[in-house]
Structure 1
Amino acid sequence: MNAAELLDEIQAELAPHDGDNRLVPLIAAGKAPRAVFAALAAEERWITRSDWRSFHEMAARADDPDARTFFGTLAPGEQQAYAMLDALIAAAGPDPGAELPRAGCQAYPAFVAWLALHGESAATAAGIYANFAAFGTYCGIVAAAMREHYGFDDAACAFFDFFAADVPVIGQQALVAIQAGLDAERLDLEAAHRYARLFQHYELLFWNTLADEFTE
């Protein structure tokens, strides 16, 4: 098995459950309240700050230079995305539940931080990258709906546009890092599958936590 085959296998396992996201279809149809975007922005501010630190830690811990390159590329993206949230916050207004971060929304970055301390680099890269396709699709749908149904401008949509964009170099770096782990027999296949499933569960928990709050 090579890196591409491993990712195809993992994503095939995850694909049937990607539709379990209850919030994105509501946004796509213009049926979610506008206040949900303030909550999304507030939660993503916590997430991007956390993931930025976690990716730097992953790069620092990685023994393999290819894994360091992959995680090192992800870190500045989180910093860029964090800055893009200012425009969304200004356009969406204050988060109605901003007293505390929502535990269901913050489970994802907590797992990323756990992996930064405990995860083997190649298996972690596989788990992270396997989730990118679903998250990118969600972001693309949200960005389109924000313009069509909610009247947000390009600046307010920039965060979601950023993560919806296809960045081939990140995919190439992920494949190289995963392949290096396979070649060195460091990559635990069971761990890669487990990490990817957990990422998907935490991703869905993020969206569905907000769906439960804003569709009661």
Structure 2
Amino acid sequence: MVRPADAAPRPTADAVLDAAVRALTPDTGANRLVPLITTGEAPRSVFATFALEQHQVIASDRLSFRHLTHRADGDPPVAAFFELLADGETLALERLAALSDACGLTSSDLDGYQPRAGCQAYPSYAARLALGAEPVDVVIALTANFAAWGHYCAAVARSMRTHYAFPDAACGFFDFFAKPAPELDERALAAVQHGLDTGQARPVAAQRQGRLLQAYELMFWNSLTDRPADPTGG
């Protein structure tokens, strides 16, 4: 079958994901906290608040990813992406424990902590996507967001060692997200290609969702700078 000369070529998963990453890369300076950490100007106590907030974020995101796995049950490549993400959240929580210990946090601190609304906007929106968005579109949105998140984590991990003298174990949470994740990348490509082949993927909608995810992630970081870090309260 000959395609008409004016017919647009079908997009590929590579092209869709690359376009989303480029379109949704945060502006330089949008994150107010990471530059302060990289110069050692942020108070050490901010890491305790980060850990306390992340305990809440991870618990919520893991549920969201499990729900998306269930919703994508009829689309194995998409379900496989979210299954790996849910497993990754469990590993991240294990690594977060070392940071919590290095910050002197106790189980009572974790149980009694009052999270900041700005820090919890991201997992709240992720839960909304888990309930009603097209799962393959969420793959695109998350992949774009993870590119920025990984960059921030790499910068923080370096500075924790050079400016704050944290032991390697305490940096493990950030190292985990900073390192390349080839299996996750492969699953993202497979999921998006499946979505394109079946007509489920909507790149424009996915970028709209990704833009909000990026905004809410920046809100997380910036909310940690809004007032002095207090591990016992909000």
TM-score scaled to structure 2, two decimals? 0.87
Q: Are 1:124 and 2:135 an aligned pair?
A: no
Structure 1: which 5+ residue stretches go unaligned? Answer: none
Q: Are 1:35 and 2:45 an aligned pair?
A: yes
SS at match of 1:182: helix
Within 1, Cα distance between the matches of 2:44 and 2:206?
Answer: 37
SS at match of 1:212: coil
In the alignment, which of 61, 81, 86 is matched to residue 97 of structure 2?
86
> By how many angstroms is 1:90 displaced?
1.5
Within 2, Cα distance between the matches of 1:133 and 1:214?
Answer: 28
1:3-56 superposed Cα distances (whole Å, 9 cap, x missing partner):
111112122212252541010000000000000000000001111111111111
SS at match of 1:55: helix
In the alignment, which of 155, 158, 163 is matched to residue 141 of structure 1?
155
Within 2, Cα distance between the matches of 1:17 and 1:202?
Answer: 14
Cα 1:125–1:197 shift into 2, 3 Å? same
Q: Are 1:2 and 2:12 an aligned pair?
A: yes
Q: Where do residues 95-134 of structure 1 align in structure 2 (5 Å cutoff)? A: 99-134=113-148
1:126-180 superposed Cα distances (whole Å, 9 cap, x missing partner):
0011111110010011011001000100111111111111011101100110111
Figure out how many residues of one structure are paired with residues of the other and give that number: 214
> By how many angstroms is 1:190 displaced?
2.0
TM-score scaled to structure 1, two decimals? 0.94
1:71 equivalent in structure 2: 82
2:7 equivalent in structure 1: none
Aligned residue type for 1:90: D
1:25 equivalent in structure 2: 35
**Aligned residues of 1:32 and 1:214 also touching (Cα < 8 A):** no
RMSD (CA atoms): 1.6
Cα 1:19–1:4 shift into 2, 3 Å? farther
1:72-131 superposed Cα distances (whole Å, 9 cap, x missing partner):
011011011111112111111347xx6411110011111111111111011010001111
In the alignment, which of 169, 174, 184 is matched to residue 160 of structure 1?
174
> By how many angstroms is 1:189 displaced?
2.2
Aligned residue type for 2:77: D
Aligned residue type for 2:31: N
Within 2, Cα distance between the matches of 1:78 and 1:118?
Answer: 21
Segments of 4+ in structure 1 off by > 4 A?
none
Within 2, Cα distance between the matches of 1:130 and 1:108?
Answer: 14
Within 2, Cα distance between the matches of 1:202 and 1:18?
Answer: 16
**Aligned residues of 2:140 and 2:203 also touching (Cα < 8 A):** no
Within 2, Cα distance between the matches of 1:211 and 1:197?
Answer: 22
2:232 equivalent in structure 1: none
